Each structure stands twice: as C-alpha cells, then as structure tokens.
Amino acid sequence: MLAIDSTGLYAAYQAKDARFDGRFFVGNSSTGIYCRPVCKARQSKKENCAFYATAAEAEQAGYRPCLLCRPELAPGSSIIDATATLAHRAARMLEENCSSGQSLDELAGRLGYTGRHLRRAFTSEYNVSPVRYLQTCRLLLAKNLLTDTKLPVLEVAMAAGFGSLRRFNDLFKKHYDLSPAALRKRVSEEKKHDSSITLAMGYRPPYRWKEILNFLAGRAISGVEAVKNDEYFRTVHLLNTGQNHVYGWVKVGHKPQKNALTVTASETLLPALSQVLAKVRRLFDLYCDPDAVYETLAPMNDIRPGLCVLGTRLPGSFNAFEMAVRAVLGQQITIKAAGTLAARLVDTYGTPIQTGIEGLTHVFPSPEDILALDGPIENHLGPLGITAARARAIHELAKALVQGKISFGLCARPETEIKKLLAIPGIGNWTAQYIAMRTMEWPDAFLETDAGVKKALEPYTPKELLEMAKAWRPWRSYATINLWNSL
C-alpha cells in the first residue's frame, strides 16, 4: 500500500479530484472492489479503504476492478514524475508490450539490465513483481476490449497477449471472479462487430484539445496524416511479436465529458494493439500532470498575461523516424514548405496502403527503406527538392537508427541522444532539441534560437531567453509549446 497519509488520499477520493486519477487506486474491503479516485459510485467509509499505487498492487491484494469507473482507463505517470527511474521506464515498457508475448528477460535486455536486477528494482518501487504487473496490464487491456468492442473472446485473448484462450479464461475468472463471457453479456447489444476497434484512454484535465490538434494539423504529412471533423487520422506500420509487418490506420477523437480520448484502430492492428495505444498516449501526452507543469510555468504570465495556459500538452510522435525526418526537412524553412517536401518523400518512397479513408494513402518510409536506395542518397532525394546536406543527414540518421547507435525509445537518455544527433553533419542544436522534445518525451528542451520563441518574447536575445528559461525547468518543452501557441 502507499506509504502516504491515508487522510490526504481519502480527502482526494472524497473530492473525486481528477488531478489524482491514476496516481492511486482505492480498495474497498466491504465489496472487494478497487476504484479510481474519480469513481462516481457511492463512496466507501474511510475505515474500509486501502490505497494502492498501481492497479497491479490492488489486484495482488485481492481486489477486483470496478465496472463503473474502469481502472483500465486511468492515465499513467510521466517519465519526469519518476525521475526516469528504471522501474518506471520498465512499467511503461510493460504497458507498451503487454500484447507482444515477450518474456520479462527479453524486455529487461532492451532496458540494458538482467531480469533479476529488473525484478528487484521493480518490486522495491511498486510492491509487485514485474510479472504480476505485466499480467495486470494484459487483463485490463482485455477488459477494455471486452467492454468497448464486440471482438470474439478468442481474439481479445490473443490481442491482449495471452498465449491461449484457456489461460485467459482461467486468469480472468480467478482475478475478477467473472468469466470474460459473463462480462461481455453486460455490454450493450448495440455495439456491432466491424472492421475497427474503438477504445477510450483517460487523461488528467484540463486538456487543450484544440491546441494540440491545431499543432498536428499544421505539421500533418499529406498521405500519412489528416485532421478533419475535430479528429486526427493517420496510417500505421508496425512490427508485431513475430517481427511480421502489420499495416492499418488509427483515428483519435475527444470526449471531454469523460476526460478521455477515443482511439479507433483498424482490426488489422490487433496483433500490435498495445503498441498502438502506447504510441497514441505518447503522441497526445496522456501521461502529463497539467497542474504540476503549470505550477512551475505560471510565472510566465507575469511577462505577458496568457503566455502560459493550464492544460497545454506537449505533442509527441507516433513514428519517431518520421518525426525526426520532418524536423530535418524543416530546418530554416517554413512549416508549410517542410510539409511539401515530406509529402513528396512519402509519395515517392512511402508504401501505398488501402485504408478506405480519404487522404490516408501511404505509410512513411522506414529507415530500412531509405538505406535500401542505391547510390548517393542525394541522387534520390535531390529531385524532390531536398538539399544534398539534408538528404545526407536523413541517410545518416536512418543508418544510426538501424545500427542501434541512436535510440528514440523509452530507454533513451535525451541528453546523451542529443549529443549523438549533433554529431550527424546537417543536424544542429535546434533540430536535436526538437527531436528530443517530441520523440523522447523530453520535457526540458528549449529552443532559444527559434523564430517563434523569439517573436513571442521580443525583444529578448537568445542568450537572455536561455537565462530566463532556467526558472522553467524541468518543463521548458511545455514553455516552448505555450510560447508557440501564444502566437
């Protein structure tokens, strides 16, 4: 249980304070059920409540998830919340790969540690073993699919990472005292089984949806992304557990009344569903604690009222290589011009796919696609209007990613990766910081030479801006987004 004053946690539970959603879970000894602190069910008496840091810990204590508040929808914790500790990075990796079927030792290896060391660090931080945490991630993903879709139970079991239907049924019944089929009967018959899956993912309010959607719309790559009808669409190309290529599309919408985003994915993405959901969380910054960010950045409003707005999110990336290439193309030219070059690159070297959605026609070329081009890279990208220096930078970036010399994943150390990016000819400090900000969830990047940042804070010089921004650490990336939005 949480080693925090239970009186304070109970007060947050009584207030249904959304700022604490996902920070802890409440077990009710009289019902055997655990809830999110925002649950709308009748509240338990304090003496019947136990508080847990994670859903896995609550389930280990014998509690079943509430069917009303649905703990599987709770937002998680950001990397900065955990000061990037091994345990928290491992937790994110387990969530992202819960449907992959990978073993704990394989996941530990990706983090650069032995399985034994990971088990020790993880259990010390979360009071549950990583195996138990992974099992809870799979069960909650399955519960989400059973509740929000009409997928057959067998497909739910496979999509959630269970090796067999029998094992899934046994674990679900053991932990939730309810069979998957019994839970399915509670779902409205109005839900139809079609060629897509729609799930909800929670966030901590407020969430400035219009601002992040406008940001993505301005930088959308034609053929790969589209923003229309207040929703975001994109094509997807991923590798599943067996290293097989899966293709499809996703659509992301907003349900402000439920403090959640809706994620619709083509059924072709089922084999990599946990990856898809993790990438959407990263793109739309669903782990963010907006109050913690605003507490540090609020003094920006002393410079000019409205410069910092509570609930502003840091746009991440769905495809790190795509985002990094887009950043290289955008050096010293307008956002629109960079978008034109990216669209040409996609049209020439992207992989065509059928989505049935207007405007979604290709997936972005992979690093391997770029490296497979014969001869000097500038001979291929030059005719598209991409300068030789940028073409070579893109080629070197692709090579570094394929060879594992640069990492944009959860294991990345942003300061270290920024230095590696700067070592690539053609990539300057602005580009390296911007790539880290958006692909590595780096909250402390600052672009003091950026035209928009300088315009928002006229007449300060870049040197003065860098000094001023020290007070905004560790949230300077959020300060940058706020400055751009203020324009």
What's the pLDDT tens digit per position in 4-19?
A: 567 788 998 999 888 8
Split at pLDDT 50, 70, 90, the class of 49 is: very high
We report the CATH number of the domain holding residue 482 as 1.10.1670.10
Q: 367 in a domain, yes or no?
A: no
Q: Which two tokens stand for residue 359?
A: 């405007």
Do 84 and 68 belong to one domain? Answer: no
For the cut 50, the answer to whether the pLDDT of residue 320 exceeds it is yes
Split at pLDDT 50, 70, 90, the class of 100 is: confident
Kindly report the number of other CB atoms within 10 A of residue 391's CB atom.
Answer: 22
Amino acid at site 96: E
Minimum mean pLDDT among 105-114, 165-174, 313-322: which range? Answer: 105-114
For residue 5, what pLDDT is reported?
63
Give 1 or 172, the one with higher predicted confidence: 172
Do 86 and 174 belong to one domain? Answer: yes
Q: 407 in a domain, yes or no?
A: no
We report the CATH number of the domain holding residue 224 as 3.30.310.20
Q: 355 in a domain, yes or no?
A: no
For the cut 80, the answer to whether the pLDDT of residue 322 exceeds it is yes
DSSP 288: -
For the cut 50, the answer to whether the pLDDT of residue 403 exceeds it is yes
For the cut 60, the answer to whether the pLDDT of residue 293 exceeds it is yes
Kindly report the number of other CB atoms within 10 A of residue 217's CB atom.
Answer: 13
The fraction of the chain above a pLDDT of 70, given in percent, is 95
Do 205 and 257 belong to one domain? Answer: yes
Do 40 and 69 belong to one domain? Answer: yes
For residue 82, what pLDDT is reported?
42
Do 173 and 85 belong to one domain? Answer: yes
Split at pLDDT 50, 70, 90, the class of 386 is: very high
Do 60 and 87 belong to one domain? Answer: no
Q: Could you say which of 132, 158, 185 is where a domain stops? A: 185
Do 39 and 115 belong to one domain? Answer: no
Q: What is the pTM of this model?
A: 0.90
Do 46 and 107 belong to one domain? Answer: no
Minimum mean pLDDT among 103-107, 122-126, 447-451, 481-485: which range? Answer: 103-107
Catalytic residues, by residue number, are: 35, 450
User: Are the CB atoms for 3 and 39 separated by under 8 Å?
Assistant: no
Split at pLDDT 50, 70, 90, the class of 191 is: low
| Rounded mean pLDDT, 326-331 | 95
For residue 84, what pLDDT is reported?
43
For residue 3, what pLDDT is reported?
46
Do 19 and 110 belong to one domain? Answer: no
Do 45 and 17 belong to one domain? Answer: yes
User: Are the CB atoms for 73 and 35 separated by under 8 Å?
Assistant: no
Residue 234 has φ and ψ, to the nearest 5°, of -160, 160
Residue 131 has, within 13 A of its CA and on its CB side, a CA count of 7
For residue 76, what pLDDT is reported?
80
Q: Could you say which of 41, 73, 105 is where a domain stops? A: 73
We report the CATH number of the domain holding residue 15 as 3.40.10.10
CA–CA dist 66, 43 (Å, integer): 12
For residue 46, what pLDDT is reported?
93
Cis peptide before 459 (omega within 30 of 0): yes
For the cut 50, the answer to whether the pLDDT of residue 83 exceeds it is no
Give 379 or 185, the one with higher predicted confidence: 379
We report the CATH number of the domain holding residue 119 as 1.10.10.60
- DSSP result, 72-139: GG-----TGGGTT-HHHHHHHHHHHTTTT---HHHHHHHHTS-HHHHHHHHHHHHSS-HHHHHHHHHH
Q: Residue 172: which residues within 8 A CB-CB, separation 6 or more?
A: 139, 142, 178, 179, 180, 183
Cβ burial 248-284 (10 Å sphere, 16+ → b, else e): bbbbbbbeeeebbbbbebbbbbbbbbbbbbbbbbbbb
Do 69 and 95 belong to one domain? Answer: no
For residue 80, what pLDDT is reported?
52
Sign of torsion, CA 443 446 451 453?
A: positive
Q: 334 in a domain, yes or no?
A: no
Give 187 or 451, the one with higher predicted confidence: 451
Minimum mean pLDDT among 26-30, 78-82, 275-279: which range? Answer: 78-82
| Rounded mean pLDDT, 128-134 | 91
Task: Give the mean pLDDT of the chain.
Answer: 91
Q: 239 in a domain, yes or no?
A: yes
Task: Supply the range of the domain harboring residue 40.
Answer: 6-73
Do 203 and 177 belong to one domain? Answer: no
For the cut 90, the answer to whether the pLDDT of residue 79 exceeds it is no
Q: 307 in a domain, yes or no?
A: no
For the cut 80, the answer to whether the pLDDT of residue 242 exceeds it is no
Q: 133 in a domain, yes or no?
A: yes
Considering its fold, how many domains does the chain have in total? Answer: 4
Minimum mean pLDDT among 53-67, 85-99, 101-115: which range? Answer: 101-115
Q: Could you say which of 44, 73, 102 is where a domain stops? A: 73
Q: 131 in a domain, yes or no?
A: yes
